[in-house]
Amino acid sequence: MIKYLFNLLYPSKAKCSICGRTGSEPVCNVCMASLDYLQGITCFHCGKQLNEKYKHNICPDCITGSFYYERAYSCFEYSGMGKKLIHKLKYEGKVQLAHVIAGLMAKRIENEGLQIDVIVPVPIHEKKLTVRGFNQSYMIASELGERLHKPVTDCLERITETKEQYNLDRSQRFLNIRGAFSVKLSYNNCKYMNILLIDDVYTTGSTVNECSKVLKSAGADRVYVVTAATGSNT
């Protein structure tokens, strides 16, 4: 009761989850404007920003690589404010940021005309889930599901605990993540479905590619990927 009266007299001010500025939440306009949004020409396969001087609409990695997913989309660069936003969500538990990211994702894929049956988040290992308390990709997927009016199916599981990917080079990343995922038996119902796979960051695409591989071998028809941010290739 006392707390209620106190809150009535001194309502707690909304704060930006990133910079702490009062007046707006979850993210203030200044922080939103500081994100390096992907714009102009992006690779038509992996969704990364392409240098203006680049003549083709596909990046060198996608020319030489072969991937199991149809196409990936992303919202902003994994640098500066973008990196901060992801870190606040993942490591500081500011789960309200999932709502902001889902909003950007919805906007990003709005005009792509994707035929989606179900949204699937990239899973994290059970041990990590116990420590962190949540899977950021699942949080984003749930918010996106509400916006797109699509079901969210947590059908993938991470069956092996892999090394952290950030200090590995491109080929090491693909090797490291191989065999790390499987489709849960209880969810073996993605046959002929078009799936929208959700992750927070796309760097080399090794993680979403491995997930796409197991989804396709379980019978998925098409797999599209949307991530919040794209990192630079290693």
Shortest Å distance, C-beta 218 to Zn ion: 25
Binders of Zn ion among 141-170, rule CB under 5 A? none
Question: How many other CB atoms sit within 10 Å of the CB of residue 4?
Answer: 8
Q: Which is nearer to Zn ion, 81 or 139 (CB)?
A: 81
Shortest Å distance, C-beta 221 to Zn ion: 22
DSSP strand pairing (156-158 vs 181-183): antiparallel
- Binds Zn ion by CB under 5 A, chosen from 28, 97, 139, 193: 28
**Residue type present at position 203:** T
Structure tokens that stand for 89 in this block: 């969500």
Any contact of residue 220 with Zn ion (CB under 5 A)? no
Any contact of residue 72 with Zn ion (CB under 5 A)? no
Binders of Zn ion among 33-62, rule CB under 5 A? 43, 45-46, 59, 62
Any contact of residue 119 with Zn ion (CB under 5 A)? no
Residues 148, 110: Cα–Cα separation, whole Å: 9
Residues 217, 223: Cα–Cα separation, whole Å: 12
Residues 105, 32: Cα–Cα separation, whole Å: 14
Secondary structure of 41-89 in HEC code, one letter for each residue: CECCCCCCECCCCCCCCCCHHHHHCCCCCCEEEEEEECCHHHHHHHHHH
- Binds Zn ion by CB under 5 A, chosen from 18, 124, 197, 201: 18
Binding piece for Zn ion, criterion CB under 5 A, among 1-9, 20-28, 80-88, 125-133: 20-28
Q: Which is nearer to Zn ion, 193 or 210 (CB)?
A: 210
Any contact of residue 195 with Zn ion (CB under 5 A)? no
Residues lying near Zn ion in the complex (CB under 5 A): 16, 18-19, 21, 28, 31, 43, 45-46, 59, 62
